Amino acid sequence: MNTAYAQTVLGKIPSEKLGVALSHEHLIVKPNNSDSYYEQYTLDDAGKSTEETISFKQSGGNTIVEMTPINYGRNPLLLKKISENAGIHIICTTGFHEEKFLPNWIFSMDDDSIKQKLLNEINIGIDGTTIKPGVLKIGTSLNKVTETEKRLIRIVSDVHKETGLPISTHCSKGTKAIEQARFFLENGVDPSRVIIGHVDIPNDIELLIELCRLGFNVQIDHVGRDLANNDATKVKLIVDVINAGYINQVFLSGDMGKKGYLPAYGGTPGLSYFLKDLKGELMKKISEEDYYHILKINPRRFFTITTRVNE
Ligand SMILES: [Zn+2]
């Protein structure tokens, strides 16, 4: 018998309940790096993050996919608390960032042990809790894919094939997306189970279309950076991908893991932006049905985990 569900920090839920979902955000994050530059990328106040999450809910949002990976300040217990207090579904992550943010143990552990660590998080829980991740992550560096990153793509691909968890990626500044896609195909991964992330940054529609043509999902997730032009270039990318016939493969989010983007931390525009200003801009170019297709129908399909259970 097969069972299908989405895995949230509060447990399994039917994926129909995910509702309006942002597919790549950060609520609790702390880059493991002593460089003061990264202070702005630290979100560690559960109260403020809850406030931000409540404003997303009040604007009509239901689910946040929290893409903070291992060694980047991931905190499943605080995510659980935010989920309970804000009444929002949160899907958390297992897997890795690009090489410069990897934990040292990656370089001394063998492949099987790394794989087993990920499987333990998925089957038992993260860091001694019973909270389980609902998505896998891999990352690649700016303009290159390192040998370690290739190794982790291989390991995460294996874990994906064994568990059914979907994979969502980080392409530094949107580079090396096609290489990532190629590695997944070489590792026998069904491209419809992979979101290639940050691919809107180069603002190259041909890149998005090529990835879609290969069967991958593309994520426009650096939205809300340039309010002055109402994200016109992002809106155009979304419209162009839809017009090319790939509405089923587009995901939308803000990757707003920075104080300057979140009103609760003194920034702007915040997570409610997708349901307010940006929705207004999109509505001038696409139908409401298409808008909800991207924010509801696609995440519902993608974050569904199907596993075989023995009767
Ligand atoms: Zn991110």
Average pLDDT, the chain: 96
Rounded to the nearest angstrom, the distance between the alpha carbon of 67 and the centre of ligand 1 is 6
Band of the pLDDT at 131, cuts 50, 70, 90?
very high
Q: Residue 85's pLDDT is what?
A: 98
Residue 10 tokens, joined: 């509060």
Nearest to 98 by CA among 198, 185, 12: 198
pLDDT at 310: 63
Confidence band of 54 (pLDDT split at 50, 70, 90): very high
**Strands 305-308, 2-8: pairing kind:** antiparallel
86: pLDDT strictly greater than 80: yes
CB count, 10 Å around CB of 217? Answer: 27
Q: Among 240, 17, 221, 202, which residue's Cα sits nearest to residue 137? A: 221
Between the CA of 308 and the centroid of ligand 1 the distance, in Å, is 31
Separation of 140 CA from ligand 1 center, angstroms? Answer: 12
Q: pLDDT for 200-224, tens place per residue?
A: 999 999 999 999 999 999 999 999 9
Average pLDDT of the residues in 222-236: 84
Measure Cα distances from 51 to 28, 57, 242 in Å: 13, 10, 33
> Ligand 1 mean position to 300 CA, how many Å?
20
Mean pLDDT of 150-160: 98
CA 68–ligand 1 middle distance (angstroms) = 7
The DSSP symbol for 94 reads: E
DSSP 309: -
Give the model's confidence band at 1: pLDDT under 50 very low, under 70 low, under 90 confident, else very high: confident
Q: How far, in Å, CA of 253 to CA of 130, rounded? A: 27
- Residue 33 pLDDT: 80
Q: If you measure from the C-alpha of residue 310 to the centroid of ligand 1, how many angstroms do you get, rounded to a whole number?
A: 36
Q: What is the mean pLDDT of residues 302-309?
A: 89
Q: How far is the CA of 254 from the centre of ligand 1 (A)?
A: 8
Tell me whether residue 134 is exposed, middle or buried, using C-beta atoms within 10 angstroms of its C-beta: 0 to 12, 13 to 18, 19 or more: buried
Distance 142 CA to ligand 1 centre (A): 14
Separation of 228 CA from ligand 1 center, angstroms? 23
For the chain, the first-to-last Cα distance in angstroms comes to 7
292 contacts: CB under 8 Å, gap ≥ 6: 20
pLDDT in tens, 19-37: 999 999 999 999 988 788 9
Report CA(136)–ligand 1 centroid distance (Å). Answer: 13
Which residue, 291, 281, 284, is CA-closest to 251? 291
